[in-house]
Structure formats: structure tokens, C-alpha cells
Amino acid sequence: MTTNYGAEQIQVLEGLEPVRKRPGMYIGSTGSRGLHHLVYEVVDNSVDEALAGFCSHIQVTLNADGSVGVIDDGRGIPTGIHPSTGRSALETVMTVLHAGGKFGGGGYKVSGGLHGVGISVVNALSEWVEVTVWREQKVHQQRYERGVPQGDLATQPLKGDRTGTSVVFRPDAEIFTTGTEFDYATLAGRLRELAYLNAGVEITFTDARLELLKTDEPKSETYHYAGGIREYVEYMNKDKQPLHEEIIFVQGERNNVQVEVALQWCVDAYSDNLLGFANNIRTIDGGTHLEGLKAVLTRTMNAIARKRNKLKENEPNLAGENVREGLTGVISVKVPDPEFEGQTKTKLGNTEVRGIVETLVGEALTEYLEFRPAVADSVLEKAIQAFNAAEAARRARELVRRKSVLESSTLPGKLADCSSRDPSESEIFIVEGDSAGGSAKQGRDRRFQAILPLRGKILNIEKTDDAKIYKNTEIQALITALGLGIKGEEFNASQLRYHRIVIMTDADVDGAHIRTLLLTFFYRYQRAMVDQGYVYIACPPLYKVERGRSAHYCYSDRERNQIIATFPENAKYDIQRFKGLGEMMPQQLWDTTMNPESRTLKRVEIEDAAEADRIFTVLMGDRVAPRREFIETHGPRLNLTDLDI
């Protein structure tokens, strides 16, 4: 232990050193999410050029050597000598934190890049970066290794008027210890989203990793949506039945804040799906733009309901969740000086945006619905039905009400609660059946682990209304045990009784079905809880391989085969396949699945909200045709021997 603490112990991190020292501060994590964030940072710069009106085509390529290339046809990063650094503007942008054109000064009117750390962070966390700029009839090139320029900017004359920027980088394996392989689907989801949010921009995404693809041809997709967010709503509602064919679209600008809203209600949906974006960044935790949209929807629909005599004088107003039932909506705002809460930018804080959204949407929506009374009537009828169903469910809901967060008068009888009263350290395991529940109750640590056994398969809430949900015993037990409150109300994390909600089901088809039903319930009933990372899936072992006195637990066929491969050829060993958690001894269950020291938990995260919503609709909704099409498309990829039939 050091005892001398003087001025020489104070470290000053120069240049890009702080990024390599604490990468999580800049990109969120050094896992898969942070790795993909690097690509988004580079692509966002190209999209900002598009927003400024100078770029129409962006190419993103995953190269065979593990690097990524992003090329645009924008103005090109400036290459002149920067007055305050004495180096080229390109080198300044690449090597100095908080250097960029997004702080005012006429470079960009609006942008997602806010702190000017994007491209320099990518540079710091890459093994190498090669930048090429086409500008002013010259081509400029420079290479960096782990943030350090390798020589000066090389400039050559260029025939023609080509402009643009190319950034090729390979992530540093020293930083990204979990691997540097990019996932095509994750990147495709974000690039598609950007193309929807910026109507007219064309993004070409190519995967040239032929070894990984096991093909001779690169895989390429182009995203180009002239209809912008209208097409985004259409994509999300592809497998639903719309209440009105035409998507309601509002576009306007006030005080330099641009607002775009697209809305469509559906007959066969019982919850809302509103996505908010600010300067192309998805605001998972909401913000003033979404608050404004929700408020104006409620106010406008109530005013029209009174005007059209759908609500009588003595009847109460429709609540926000009634109006939004079955609604799919996207709101995209472009704000010159955005205030985000946190570096990862998941909540918009600008107070003026709320008023601007309310005014613009209020005027346009009122005018739209007054000219289309049939649409107004059908939306209001659905809202009034939702209101009546909510009233019918209110008595059932009283059972759900709780006296306080942790002391409850009517906790379900089968819940084996933990002794801790601190939600942040408490966890609950939702298990299928009483036999698994028995093992789990005996094997758990009573201090902070609670067990809730469920009987059979819970209700599929994707295709049921609220009244049925609240009458269902198993769902009632879930709501009460977890402290979930009421569907449609704002999620309040302080009411949650456990901050780790773990789904622990058997490793067979029925277990997978129950897990899907539970995930559907959490996603549709209280989606913010899933978004904020409170839901986990336990990973019980599939096999126990015993040889002599040593036993190995295996979580996959591959792991089992690897362990068997280490045995001598004539070795004797036994393999036990765990069909259900009830077959495991309490101590085994604790050691493999419940002990925080040795278990594996998967946190449920939603990267692509639109795709998640669509998949829930296809697989769990009440229309058979889209589900059949899904099975026919993906069926050939299945190995039938893996199915537990």
C-alpha cells in the first residue's frame, strides 16, 4: 500500500490516452455493444453530412480482414491547417477529443454528434485507421495506428470533381477482449433505421467476409426509403391489420426545430409502440418530444370525441393509454442544440421541444381528422372500447394494488420471498411447475433470492384484452409478486420489488414456449422494464458428464463434445441429459444456475425495437398467415434432430 500521496501521483492523460484507459466512458462498454458503436460513430458523421444536404450515398463494408469501411459522397473532412493546433484539420479531428464541426460556427445546423469525440474515439480504439478525403480536386490520405499518425497527410492531384470521405478501421483486440467480429444483423438494423429517418439517403451495406458467409459472393443490401418514417411505420405494421390505410404524417419546423411524426392505429394490437428519435439517435428512455406527442394525442382525441358527440358531457375523458391502444408511431425531431441525459444519449432533455411538438402535431392532427371523420370515428371507437375494457378490468386490478413496495397485504401464496428488503440486491426466479419450484426453493440463498413457481403455460397477452389479463391467476401472481403496477402506466422502477427478474425454464420445447410467453408478457405489459435491463434468462446446464469422481456440467452440445474429446479413447464416462430442472438436486441447481459466483445469466436487451415489435406480432399475434410464412422461410435452416419432438 502506498502512503506517500503527492503532486507526482496526479496523472494527466494526454491526447487520446483517456479513451484507451477508460473506453466504457466513451462507447458504453468494451463488449459487443461498444464494438458496434464504433461503426455508428463513423456512419453518424456521414449522415450528418446528409442532413446538411451534401451527401446522398453512404457505403458500409465489412471487410474480410476484420476491418470496416465507410465511404460517403459528402464534402470531405477539411484538410487545411487548423489555426489553433498547427496541424491539418483532418489530423486534428482524428486525434483531438472534442474537435469537430458540431459546436456551432456554421459547420452543421443539426447533428447527432454532440461532443465531438466520435471519430477520434474510433481512432483511439482501433488497431489502425486509414482515412481518404476527396476534396478540392485533390485526394488526401493518412494512416493511424492506435491513435498515432503514421507520417504526414499525403496529398495527390485528382481528376474530376469527386468529393467525400472514406474511413477504414480495424478494432483493437487489446480493447475489445470479447472479440472483434461484427454482427451483420445488428449493423443492418441500425443502418436501416437511419435510412428510414433520413428520407432519400441511400445506404449500401455489404458483407465481404466470404469465409464467414461460406459463399463466393459478398452479401449486399441497399436501404433507400423515399417515404422516410412513413415507410418505417408501414414496415412495423406489415403483419398487423391497420384501422386506417393511410399513415397520418405530420411534418413541420419551428424555431429551427424540425419535427416529423408518422402514426397508424391497428385493429389487432392492444398496446402502443411509440419510437422516439432525436437527431437520428433512438431515445430509449423517452424525453420531452415523446411527452409532447403523448399529451397532444390525448388532448386532441378527447376534443374530437366531445365535438363528434362520442363522449357525453358527464362522461370522463379518455386516458392516454386508451387513445394510444393499438398505435404504432415514430417521432423524429432534429434539434440544433440537443441536451441529452448521459453520453449514450438515451433521453432528450430540451424543454422547448415539448411545446413545439404539441403545437405542430396538434394543429396538423386536428385538421387531418376533421377532413377524415371516418378515420376519427374508428380510432375513437377503439379508444372507447379500451376505456370500457379498462373499467371492466378495474375491479380485477384492485387485487394488483399494493400497500407499499415490499410489504404487501396480498402477495401470492406460492411465492417464496427473500428476506432482503432492498430491491437492488434482490432477485426472483420464475420457474415452471412445482417440482422445479421445490428444487429451487431448497437450493436458493434465502437472503436475496425469491422463487415464484408458475403452473402450466401463462396467457399469451399479445392477443387478449386487459380484462382477461387481470382475471388470469398466473398473471395476477406475476404482477403482484414483481410489483409491476398497471399496464400502460409510466414504468416506475422504484415500485419494482426485485431488480433481477430471472426466467428459469426447462431446456425443452415446452420450456422455450413458456419463456417466450413470459417475454411476450414483459414486453407488452411493461416494456420499459425490458428496455432498462431488469429481465434475465437463466442458463441451466444441458448435460452432466461424469468420469470417475470428476463431473463436468455442459451448457451446449459443443461443450459436451469438447470435454469428451479430452478423455482417452477407451475412457468410461456417463452422460446425463437434464430434461427438466426438477430432475436436478437442489445443490446441483444452486451450483450451476443460481449461484452468482458460478452461474451464467443472459440479460434481455432490445437492439432493434422495430424488428422486435414485428417479430412479437408475427409469432404471438392471432394472424396465422405471417407466422406460416416465417416458418416456411426459416424452417430449412433448422436441424430437425435438434427439435425435441
Residues serving a catalytic function are 432, 506, 508, 510
C-alpha–C-alpha distance, residues 56 and 72, integer Å:
8
Three-state secondary structure string covering 81-140: ECCCCCCEHHHHHHHCCCCCCCCCCCCCCCCCCCCCCHHHHHHHCEEEEEEEEEECCEEE
Residues near 205 by beta carbon (within 8 Å), at least 6 away in sequence: 60, 61, 187, 188, 191, 220, 221, 222, 223
In this structure, are residues 337 and 330 in contact, taking their beta carbons and an 8 Å threshold?
Answer: no
Cα 359 to Cα 197, 296, 388, distances in angstroms: 22, 8, 30
DSSP string, 151-198: SSPEEEE-SS---EEEEEEEE-TTT-TT--PPPHHHHHHHHHHHHHHS
C-alpha–C-alpha distance, residues 273 and 509, integer Å:
29
Dihedrals phi, psi of 25, to nearest 5 degrees: -65, -30
Strand partners, 577: 543
Q: 3-class SS at 625?
A: helix
Reading the block at residue 117, the C-alpha cell is 469525440
574-577 β-sheet, strand order: 550-554, 543-547, 574-577
86: left (phi over 0), alpha (psi -120 to 50) or beta: left
In this structure, are residues 132 and 299 in contact, taking their beta carbons and an 8 Å threshold?
Answer: no
Q: Are strands 327-334 and 257-265 parallel, antiparallel or unpaired?
A: antiparallel
Dihedrals phi, psi of 299, to nearest 5 degrees: -65, -45
C-alpha–C-alpha distance, residues 417 and 385, integer Å:
38
Q: Whose CA is closest to 180, among 72, 71, 37?
A: 37
Give me the amino acid identity at 585.
M
Residues near 572 by beta carbon (within 8 Å), at least 6 away in sequence: 547
Q: Quick count: other Cβ atoms within 10 Å of Cβ 459?
A: 17
Q: What radius of gyration, in Å, describes the C-alpha atoms of the chain? A: 28
Compute the half-sphere exposure of residue 300: CA atoms within 13 Å on the CB side of its CA. Answer: 23
Give the sign of the dihedral formed by CA 485, CA 488, CA 493, CA 497: positive
Q: 3-class SS at 546?
A: strand
